[in-house]
Structure 1
Amino acid sequence: MAEEMEIDPQQRRYEALRGSGRLLSGTRPRSLRESIDSLAGGSHELGGRTDVYGDGVVEVLEERVAGLLGTEAAAFFPTGTMAQQVALRCWAGRTGDRTVAMHPLAHPEVHERFAYAQLSGLRSVWPTTERRMPDAEEVADFAEPFGTLMLELPLRDAGFLLPTWTELEATVEAARARDAVVHLDGARIWETTPHFDRSLPEIAGLADSVYVSFYKTLGGISGAALAGPAEFVAEARTWRHRYGGQLYQQWPAALSALAGIERELPRLGEYVAHAKVVAAALAEAVAEVPGARVFPEPPHTHQFQLWLPYPAETLVEAGLRMAEETGQALFGGWREPGLPGISYTEVTVQAPALEWSPQEVRSGVAALLERLK
């Protein structure tokens, strides 16, 4: 008797979300055809030639990013990991100090396999281990010297947390007083403007360099940019080539990034505002569940965490069955950060979530909790 074929979990999730009429977190996944068609949906002229080693539409994107951030220049990178490593390496060479102050939950510490140390010989120090950005006093009084302070805005793995504008200014000033440069991991800097009540150039202007992502928040295929002074960006381009980032053609990623800037960037304020509505409704829905919580409440951006006292595998299965059977998809993946039976998911409020009223959010969560009993 032929063995029953196992269903690929990724394919099952793809089909469940594609088949759902309503999504609370994230967006409906596109098919290959839809992804290809979306590249032609922006305003960029498609009658010209494709890019070659970073000219053409890639240059258009770089100029657009520099204009949005108010920097002298910007360079496109195929990945954010490469952009971050190049930025830190360049600043280490310019300051003569290979020590980088960052948070233990920062992206290079958690998600990049310590590439800054393995590839560039850099070392990190932690001004704080609290689940927040280091404050001015911690930076000023830190016992060891460092050449670069890297700040992740928002601090994703701590719950997409942001300081106040006053706190951010003070922390940057404390680094300057130590003759350190400041680099912003701004993968998601796009959605920080409502919280800070400042423009992108004002936020980016606090730092010496900024990295931004095109697939996080903006919904691009892939890619990132490193922005800052023209001389610094020129050096970064040299290291990009050495790291293998000088691709022959990158027009699909560049076109999707430009489309994301056009479509998503103007809507982020609306997403951030509705995230507060969704978070409040979720908090009400899980108020009677021991150990459940929304964090932070209210959210600082359009993303936040929801914690529930169930194993991740149980929550994933219940959510998939609900999507398959009712056409309502609430959340994406779940993670167990260390304590068995306690899991969290990252809620991302985008266009599909705008259709959900607080009552509908509460009803949807009630239906999910019922399946968990």
Structure 2
Amino acid sequence: MDDDDAQQRAELVRIWGGARRRLGSSSADGAVGPRLRELAAWAESSPYGDEALDLYGDGVVAALERRVAELLGFPEAVYFPTGTMAQQVALRCWAGRTGSDVVALHPLAHPEVHEEGALGAVSGLRTVHPTTAPRLPTAQEVRDLPEPFGTLMLELPLRDAGFVLPSWEELVETVDAARERDAVVHFDGARLWECGPHFGGRDPREIAGLADSVYVSFYKSLGGMAGAALAGPEDVTAEARTWRHRYGGLVFQQYPAALSALRGLEEELPRLPSYVAHARVVAQALREALEESPAPWFRIHPEVPHTHQFQVWLPYEPEALTAASVRLVEETGTLLFRRWFPGPAGGPPGVATTEVTVAAPGLEWTPEDVREAVRGFLAGL
């Protein structure tokens, strides 16, 4: 990100943070003082207020690791400062155990799109793609992959394809297909926390139980400051701690981030099913509003959201749509959409997409509130 992009992003974050009404929330919104006071107040009233400060991963960080391991049903979990590092370490640990440096994953998965080729450049791993369709691979596609691979990595949900998930039966079959090929299965579960409603109400432990290891994020859905965890068997987590140190991830103190993660697990995790349910209400209201609008074309994807996040597509330049989003906040105090981006490479020109997240603030929105916000947004184009 160059200086101009960074300056624009900072200005947008300032504007979003000033909105009085919003569908979702972001841990990047707000100012330092209020955020720290909120976290300190929660810590004082929580069981963790008297927990020891961490030094190189003990104290409250170790308490967070134990909580994640319990929630996901694994013997141990290891805290990492970033998800990118956690997945790097997980995949190289499995490569050593399987004897294969080949990872099968989707071309839209996070390591392929958002990590600057780190799997190959840093860890010496090679990737293959069972499918290029905008969804998770099927069992048959895993069986038909023409070369051996040691690890199948599945991103749940597949964010850049629209936060999409397979059915529970399809996921089980895909995992079984990888095992038929003597491969291990790793879940990129950055957003695994909100997958339960789509999978018939299954909890994180049952979902994670399909995999050999799971990475989860603390800020994407739980509202934490930063950080991630890798959960898996004891031998893998023990090696992961060694690689975490080698990668520079054994930080002297991280208790504010760890506390914010524990707060997210206590407060946000139980609420996620209600966010998913209301995201479906919001998506339907958006559809109705856009059908009545002068917009020549639009897409809500998925039509029924699989999680509390989904995509909206409109046939305008992203800069014009972002400007309309800003104008709506400045004129009405309502934050409907955030930043818009060009559609995928190879797609039609002049089409832009944005991501919608429905969280606690959005539960107050009625369908008419959504329709009114859409009308105001389009009027600013």
TM-score category, normalised to shorter length: over 0.9
Please name the residue that 2:158 is paired with: 155
What is the aligned length? Answer: 366
Q: Could you say which residue in structure 2 is the equivalent of 1:345?
A: 354
Partner in structure 2 of residue 58 of structure 1: 61
> How far apart, in 2, do the equivalents of 1:112 and 1:246 lie?
20
* Aligned amino acid, residue 158 of structure 1: A
Residues 50-71 of structure 1 show CA distances to partners (whole Å, capped at 9, x for unaligned) of: 1100000000000000000011
Match of 2:133 in 1: 130
Residue 11 of structure 1, CA deviation: 4.3
2:371 corresponds in structure 1 to 362
Q: Indicate conservation of the 8 Å contact 1:279/1:294, yes or no.
A: yes
Equivalent AA in structure 1 for residue 330 of structure 2: E
**2: CA distance, partners of 1:357 / 1:143:** 50
Is residue 317 from structure 1 mapped to residue 323 from structure 2 by the alignment? yes
CA displacement 1:279-313 (0-9 Å, x = unmatched): 00111111252221100010000000001111111
Does the 8 Å contact 1:44/1:255 carry over to 2? no
1:120 aligns with 2:119: no
Q: Does 1:19 align with 2:23?
A: no
Evaluate the alpha carbon distance shift between residue 308 and residue 204 of structure 1 in structure 2; reply closer, same or farther with a 3 A threshold: same
CA offsets 1:228-283 (integer angstroms, 9 cap, x no match): 11111111111101100011111111001001111100100100000000000111
- Equivalence for 1:301: 307
Q: Normalized against structure 2, the TM-score is what?
A: 0.93
Mapped to 2, the partners of 1:97 and 1:12 lie a distance apart of 45
Task: Tell me the residue number matched to 2:167.
Answer: 164
- Partner deviation per Cα, 1:36-55 (whole Å, 9 max, x = no partner): 11322141433354110000
What is the 5 A alignment of 1:212-251? 212-251=216-255
- Cα contact 1:336–1:344 (8 A) shared by 2: yes
- Rounded to whole Å, the distance in 2 between the matches of 1:125 and 1:139 is 11
Q: Does the C-alpha gap of structure 1 residues 220 and 141 become closer, same or farther in structure 2, counting only changes over 3 Å?
A: same
Query: CA separation in 2, counterparts of 1:122 and 1:316?
Result: 38
Specify every segment of 5 or more residues in structure 2 that has no aligned partner in the other structure, as ranges: 1-5
Deviates more, 1:126-135 or 1:194-203: 194-203
Structure 2: distance between partners of 1:73 and 1:15? 39
Task: In structure 2, give the amino acid aligned to 1:298.
Answer: V
- Paired residues of 1:128 and 1:138 also in contact (CA < 8 A): yes
| Shift of residue 15, structure 1, vs aligned partner | 3.5
Show CA shifts across 1:323-373 (max 9, x none).
01111111111110244321111000001111110011011101111221x
- Name which of 261, 266, 274 aligns with 1:257: 261
Q: Which runs of 5+ in 1 are unaligned?
A: 1-6
Helix, strand or coil for the counterpart of 1:266?
helix
* Contact 1:132/1:158, CA 8 A, preserved across alignment: yes
Q: Structure 2: which amino acid aligns with 1:35?
A: R
Deviations 1:147-203 (A, max 9, x none): 000000000000000000000000000000000000000000000011102121111
Paired AA for residue 236 in structure 2 = F
Distance 1:132 1:140 in 2: 16
| 2:330 match: secondary structure | helix
Alpha-carbon distance between aligned partners in 1 of 2:176 and 2:9, rounded to the nearest angstrom: 46
Q: CA deviation at 1:13?
A: 2.3
- What is the CA-CA distance between 1:14 and the residue it aligns to? 3.2
RMSD value over aligned CA atoms?
1.4
Q: Which moved more, 1:116-125 or 1:331-340?
A: 331-340
Task: Tell me the equivalent position of 2:273.
Answer: 269
With over 3 angstroms needed to count, the CA separation of the structure-2 counterparts of 1:359 and 1:109, relative to structure 1, is: same
CA distance in 1, matches of 2:380, 2:120: 46
Q: Is the 8 A contact 2:308 2:358 kept in 1?
A: yes
Structure 2 matches for 1:17-166, cutoff 5 A? 17-27=16-26, 29-40=29-40, 41-42=42-43, 43-166=46-169
- CA 1:173/1:56 → structure 2, altered by over 3 Å: closer, same or farther? same
User: 1: distance between equivalents of 2:249 and 2:47?
Assistant: 24
Identity of aligned residues (%): 60
Residues 16 and 338, structure 2, Cα contact 8 Å, conserved in 1:
no
SS at 1:304 equivalent: strand
TM-superposed CA distance for 1:118, in Å, is: 0.3
Read off the aligned partner of 1:341 and give its amino acid letter: G
Q: 1:111 corresponds to which letter in structure 2? A: H
Deviates more, 1:11-20 or 1:57-66: 11-20
- TM-score, L = length of structure 1: 0.95
Code of the residue aligned with 1:118 in structure 2: it is A
Identify the range of structure 1 (41-50 vs 66-75) with the bigger mean alpha-carbon deviation: 41-50
CA contact (8 A) 2:153 2:186 kept: yes
1:15, 1:326 → 2: CA distance?
A: 16
